[in-house]
Structure 1
Amino acid sequence: MESTTIDTAGLCSDIVTAIAERTGADPLEMDPLYDAVDVDAVKAIVGSAGDASVEFAYHGHTVVVDGDGSVTVTGEAEPEMAGVE
């Protein structure tokens, strides 16, 4: 198995920026990312260079981080993921 190194340093920033761009929210006004997901675990999965991905709800949207470090934000989060009140 070939080892690949992925730069995870900007991953949190990429996630927050993607949500901010989609929603028009100020990134500095958003809840901390670590309130939605274990950031270290996401970085570990991304850094493992496998085909794994992580999906979680953040700021009312579904975020998918693939093993290659790409971040995808889709519509509204599923109600059970978003913790709808």
Structure 2
Amino acid sequence: MSSEGEADPTAFVGRVLTELVAQLDVDPLDLEPLYHSIDLEAVEEFYRREDPSMVDVIVEFDYYHHRVRIDATGAVSVTTSDDEF
């Protein structure tokens, strides 16, 4: 599943939660906060930079047995993680 990037690529938190809630079929309030898995401020700061060399940058992290991927445009995809937990 994936969502398209928006005008504000730092708005990834809402997109990540939307994708996870759809895949896990849970109430977002039942999920552990994202900041337990990743430094949200660091990711937001990273995407605020206007550096042309970042065109191929991808941020990935695991959350609830799913791999979350945010590309340089801020588009989010969530897939089942192959990692063993």
One fold, TM greater than 0.5?
A: yes
Alpha-carbon displacement from aligned partner over 1:20-46 (angstroms, at most 9, x marks no partner): 111101111100000011111221232
What are the residue-to-residue correspondences of 1:12-31 with 2, within 5 Å? Answer: 12-31=13-32
Higher RCO (Cα < 8 Å, 6 or more apart): 2
Tell me the distance in 1 between the aligned counterparts of 2:33 and 2:27: 12
Greater mean alpha carbon deviation, residues 38-47 or residues 20-29? 38-47
Contact 2:15/2:76 (<8 A) preserved: yes
What are the residue-to-residue correspondences of 1:35-50 with 2, within 5 Å? Answer: 35-49=36-50, 50=54
TM-score (norm 2): 0.76
Contact 1:8/1:69 (<8 A) preserved: yes
| SS of equivalent to 1:17 | helix
Q: 1:42 is aligned with what amino acid?
A: V
Structure 1 vs Structure 2 CA RMSD: 1.7
Contact 2:10/2:48 (<8 A) preserved: no
| SS of equivalent to 2:35 | helix
Tell me the distance in 1 between the aligned counterparts of 2:36 and 2:19: 17
Which stretches in structure 1 are left out of the alignment for 5+ residues? 1-5
Q: How many residues align?
A: 75
Which stretches in structure 2 are left out of the alignment for 5+ residues? 1-6
Contact 1:48/1:67 (<8 A) preserved: no
Tell me the distance in 2 between the aligned counterparts of 1:24 and 1:66: 24
